[in-house]
Amino acid sequence: MKRLVLASMSAAVLLFTGCSQKNPDVDMTKNQKMEKVNNTNANAGDTSGMNSNNMDSNSMNQNSMAQNDKNALKYLIANLESQLRPVNFDFDKYNIREDMKPVVANSATVLDGDKAQKFSVKLEGNCDEWGTDEYNYALGLKRAKSVKDALNAQGVGADRMMIVSYGESNPVCTDKTKACWAKNRRVEFKLLP
Amino acid sequence: MIRKIILLLFFAYSLFAYDATVEIVKKLDTLPKIAVQDASDATEDIGLRKKFFKILVGDLRVSAHFRPLGDYLQSSYEGSISENFLNKKNVDLILRFRLKSQDNLLIANVKLINASSGEVKNETNYKMQNRRRFPFLAHRIIVGINDLIGAPSIKWMEQFVIFSKYTGKRTSQIVVSDYTLSFQKTIVKGGLNIFPKWADKLQDAFYYTSYNGYLPTLYKVDLNNGQRKKIISAKGMLVCSDVSEDGEKLLLTMAPNDQADIYLYDLRYKQLERITKYSGIDVNGNFVDNDKKVIFISDRLGYPNIFSKTFGSSGIEQMVYHGKNNNSVSALDNYIVYSSREKRSEFGGNVFNLYLISTKTDYIRQLTANGKNLYPRFAQDKDTILFIKHFKNQSSLGVIRLNANKSFLFPLKVGKIQSIDW
């Protein structure tokens, strides 16, 4: 991935103007696609010599069971995440509001439950569209940290949790209304296997 | 006549160039009036010629050293009596250009003519390898014309701007442009790529943060060969806020312990030093005072404000005593420009305005009056500031000419500008 930067070289010449050319394309989409292609190739390498005609029913069953396990895991994560409501914040604040404390308590209960224990938790801090983005990324991070600390105080292991901020880049609502901005000031939970 | 104008221009600048925080309320009416004539052959693309003309006139206006005539005038390149003496239009100077395309090469022959005497004061030929970059050719011409009349340099017009723009949810692109956005080239796309920052004054390389891997990661991209190099990764968030004069040190905002603080990263030794240790928010570090000091934004008073710290010392100094939400800052020499929210509520007409202060005086100068004005950045001279303006669902690049007390906006057609550097 690190070495897959696609950059078209350009000669740095702009003659009399003294301007340099700035042409490279670093296309992350292409990089990700190429990574997927490479993974596919790696899988193909593992099964070299096999084709659909000589695969026995045993390996097909194994594939099918693995797929079922994946689907079950996916379903379980989706089910648990649906029980985790976002924690909302006041404008420009990162302390947990009184009305959000039950939301955090409920999240702690879900995350400490038997089904969720095996997952790590990613806490994603988000902001509304107001303010400079650099400050907003820090504000989003502080919101995630507040939730992490509150969960930890209620028994969720700190080593299971990681935090990240998306600033204002990840809105759930794009209307220009007070209600919409309030929805965007939030911390969301993502479970990681 | 021209000499007198130049002398008056110098006199005018010597009067008001002492302190940029002092607002000029009355402008001397002595700027030379200049007409721009298109002398290109009829076979040249008329669309390109008109765009070129528009950028030339715009640059003359933004320079604040000329009074350009907005009329699109055509002429022969050699010029007749009626073309060389524009008595009816009462102009002092004529800028005449002739564009010629040769494959991908664009050539501009340019004359500066004294409209009173008909005398050609200067003739220069410019060329550019890539036709798409014609806005930079226009900027170069105006920088040259400006130098010819002896006005203060406007070489900043040739600086490349680099910015990130949101194009969707967790999706952004990094774009290199000129200051008017007439030229734009997307150089990073796919996923969330933000906070681009030029690596040095040559603008041959830049840093940016990618949010596309497991951890936010800072990369450096060399524009000469397109190579991308990983600098550092960090949990939570990562921003390259500033680069030292020698290009060897970075001021980063990062949170390896879940806590956003300012860090100094030495590229030579790959050493990371934590500069601030506050339990709240510290972001947006800027080198000042020959890189001996850092100014930054902190909420240590309960709201975002601007503070400074000398490297190697523990003391923190509050820099601004105005406003209750100063959330972005940039500094050059003894000048500080910052963005301040006018009201504590998220509603209200005036939301974020830019202010300029000098560390040597008590003056505060308000630079904007409406909309959300964010992310101010000084040009390589301290007379010009670039900033982001969001107003009525429109995202624009703004340019403030401090001495002339003028500002100009260049709207982005698609997307929302996330951050800028130049």
DSSP codes of every residue in B366-411? E---SEEEEEEEE-SSTTEEEEEEEETTEEEEEEEETTTTEEEEEE
DSSP run (H or E) holding B41: none
Residues A137 and A123: their CA atoms lie apart, in Å, by 14
Reported as a single tens digit per residue, the pLDDT across B174-217 is: 999 999 999 999 999 999 999 999 999 999 999 999 999 999 99
- Separation in Å, CA B211 to CA B91, B236, B247, B264: 54, 10, 24, 21
Residues in B touching A171 (Cβ below 8 Å): 169
Residues in A touching B327 (Cβ below 8 Å): 131-132, 135
By Cβ distance, the residue of B137, B187, B189 closest to A29 is B189
| Pair of tokens at residue A42 | 């790696």
Reported as a single tens digit per residue, the pLDDT across B4-39 is: 544 444 444 443 344 565 554 445 468 999 999 999
Residues A95 and B409: their CA atoms lie apart, in Å, by 37
Q: What is the pLDDT confidence band of residue B370, given thresholds at 50, 70 and 90?
A: confident
Tell if the CB–CB gap between B255 and A141 is shorter than 8 Å.
yes
DSSP letters along A127-138, please? --S-S-HHHHHH
In terms of domains, do A90 and A32 share one? no
Distance of CA B351 to the CA centre of its chain: 22
Mean pLDDT of the residues in chain B = 90
Last residue in a domain, options A58, A77, A96: A77
By Cβ distance, the residue of A24, A137, A163 closest to B187 is A24
Tell if the CB–CB gap between B304 and A135 is shorter than 8 Å.
yes
Reported as a single tens digit per residue, the pLDDT across B115-156 is: 988 899 999 999 999 999 999 999 999 999 999 999 999 999
Whether the CB of B176 is below 8 Å from some CB of chain A: the reply is yes
Residues in A touching B237 (Cβ below 8 Å): 137-138, 140-141, 164-165
By Cβ distance, the residue of A13, A24, A28 closest to B193 is A28
The answer to whether position A8 is within a domain reads: no
Q: Is the pLDDT of residue A68 over 90?
A: no
Count the domains in chain A: 2
In terms of domains, do A102 and A128 share one? yes
The answer to whether position A5 is within a domain reads: no
In terms of domains, do A101 and A164 share one? yes
The answer to whether position A68 is within a domain reads: yes
Residues in A touching B418 (Cβ below 8 Å): 133, 169
The answer to whether position A169 is within a domain reads: yes
Which of A25, A26, A91 to probe the B interface (max B CBs under 10 A)?
A26
Q: What's the gap in Å between the CA of A44 and the closest CA on chain B?
A: 24
Burial of B147 per CB tally in 10 Å (0-12, 13-18, 19+): middle
Q: What is the pLDDT confidence band of residue B251, given thresholds at 50, 70 and 90?
A: very high
User: Chain A neighbours among B 220-259 (CB < 8 Å)?
Assistant: 221, 223-228, 230, 235-237, 239, 241, 253, 255, 258-259
Q: Is the pLDDT of residue A36 over 90?
A: no
Structural domain boundaries of chain B? Answer: 31-153, 156-421
Distance of CA A188 to the CA centre of its chain: 10
In terms of domains, do A68 and A158 share one? no
Domain B156-421: assigned CATH number: 2.120.10.30
Reported as a single tens digit per residue, the pLDDT across B313-344 is: 999 999 999 988 999 999 988 899 999 998 75
Q: Is the pLDDT of residue A53 over 70?
A: no
In terms of domains, do A158 and A73 share one? no
- Return the DSSP state at B357: E
Residue range of the domain that includes A106: 85-192
CATH superfamily name and code, B31-153? TolB, N-terminal domain (3.40.50.10070)
Sign of CA dihedral B388, B392, B394, B398: negative
Last residue in a domain, options A77, A110, A128: A77
In terms of domains, do A131 and A167 share one? yes
Reported as a single tens digit per residue, the pLDDT across B218-238 is: 999 999 999 999 999 999 999
The answer to whether position A4 is within a domain reads: no
Last residue in a domain, options A77, A100, A127: A77
Sign of CA dihedral A45, A48, A51, A54: negative
In terms of domains, do A103 and A151 share one? yes
The answer to whether position A133 is within a domain reads: yes
Phi-psi region of B104 (alpha: psi -120 to 50; beta: other; left: phi over 0): alpha
| Pair of tokens at residue B207 | 């840093």
Reported as a single tens digit per residue, the pLDDT across A99-147 is: 999 999 999 999 999 999 999 999 999 999 988 889 999 999 999 999 9
**Closest CA in chain A for residue B236:** A164
In terms of domains, do A92 and A72 share one? no
**Closest CA in chain B for residue A30:** B190
The answer to whether position A160 is within a domain reads: yes
CATH of the domain at A134: 3.30.1330.60
Residues B105 and B95: their CA atoms lie apart, in Å, by 22
In terms of domains, do A175 and A131 share one? yes
The answer to whether position A3 is within a domain reads: no
Residues A146 and A136: their CA atoms lie apart, in Å, by 15
Residues B151 and B7: their CA atoms lie apart, in Å, by 10
Q: What is the pLDDT confidence band of residue B79, given thresholds at 50, 70 and 90?
A: confident
